[in-house]
Amino acid sequence: MSEQLCDVGRGITLCYETFGDPSDPTALLVMGLGTQMVAWHADFCSELAARGLHVVRFDNRDIGRSTHLDGRPPTIPQLLLRSRRAAHYRLTDMAEDAVAVLDAIGVETAHVMGCSMGGMIVQRLAIEHPDRLRTVTSVMSRTGEPGSGDSSPEALAFLMAPPPDSRSDYMEHQVAALRVYGSKPEWLDEDLIRARAGAAYDRCFCPEGIARQMRALMKDGSRADQLAQVDLPVLVLHGSRDTLIDPSGGRRTAELIPGARYVEIEGMGHDYPPAVWRQWVEIWSDFARDARSTGR
């Protein structure tokens, strides 16, 4: 299905796209900081749909073809100091956006899977909207607690760097970043990375929105106490080579949530190259099947 727009209230319109049969159970995919829904590659979505899922991907607010908010973005010093004055919205608001997408397509409950900041959003969904979820999958993410999931200095430097000045600079920045925190070199196709980065730049380039998203992420703080109360089937995935969010962030997430399953994918970094798609889908499919067998 082609991209569609839905008005979710509060002055926000979200762009979304679906794959598969709407009569199948829905899987809602949530992307991370500054990353558009197209990062959930269409072939990956189709592979999930082939497993009997109605797959939905969407642009978070302030990215892609969803609403971009007004207001001066936070400065780097404000981000580093976690200034409350710099926040325009919260992860709770972004979680409510995800629920509004489900409402717009007429879905009562869904499997939800989020990467990086998207993992933090689905954690918020599990805390605040458990009745709308069948299962939760948090990927390459963390709990918001200091000391687990911290970035290496080299990875943090890429995260906090000024935005690229041009399309070509943006493409090369993505390649350089994945050399630092991406998957093992033999899984990284630099021409493919450049092509996808160029396509994403052409679709939307909004550094101000990324900064606002980052402030929402940083303001959320620790979710540890609330995660310990989650009563849903939870899968936590992480890559062994992730230096943007250290695997300790994923391990801590699984440790806190009762009954959560933790899987660390050897060789994967803070990305999901095509080389891991089949493994990822199989791990998730086994998890969802086990959840169904226990009545979820």
Question: How large is the average pLDDT for residues 107-120?
Answer: 98
Dist. CA 72–CA 233, nearest whole Å: 39
- The string of DSSP letters for 117-159 reads HHHHHHHHHHHH-GGGEEEEEEES---S-TTSSPPPHHHHHHH
67: left (phi over 0), alpha (psi -120 to 50) or beta: beta
Per-residue confidence (pLDDT) for residue 295, from 0 to 100 = 54
Single-letter code of the amino acid located at 254: A
Q: How many domains does the chain have?
A: 1
Question: How large is the average pLDDT for residues 20-25?
Answer: 95
CATH of residue 137's domain is 3.40.50.1820
Distances in Å between the Cα of 150 and the Cα atoms of 14, 38, 141 are 30, 26, 10
Per-residue confidence (pLDDT) for residue 185, from 0 to 100 = 96
Q: Which of 84-93, 191-200, 283-292 has the lowest mean pLDDT?
A: 84-93
Give the HSE-up count for residue 107: Cα atoms under 13 Å, Cβ half-sphere. Answer: 26
Per-residue confidence (pLDDT) for residue 226, from 0 to 100 = 97
Structural domain range at position 237: 4-293
Per-residue confidence (pLDDT) for residue 293, from 0 to 100 = 65
Task: Give the pLDDT band (50/70/90) at residue 253.
Answer: very high
Per-residue confidence (pLDDT) for residue 291, from 0 to 100 = 82
Task: Give the pLDDT band (50/70/90) at residue 294.
Answer: low
User: Is the Cβ–Cβ distance between 285 and 137 less than 8 Å?
Assistant: no
Per-residue confidence (pLDDT) for residue 81, from 0 to 100 = 44
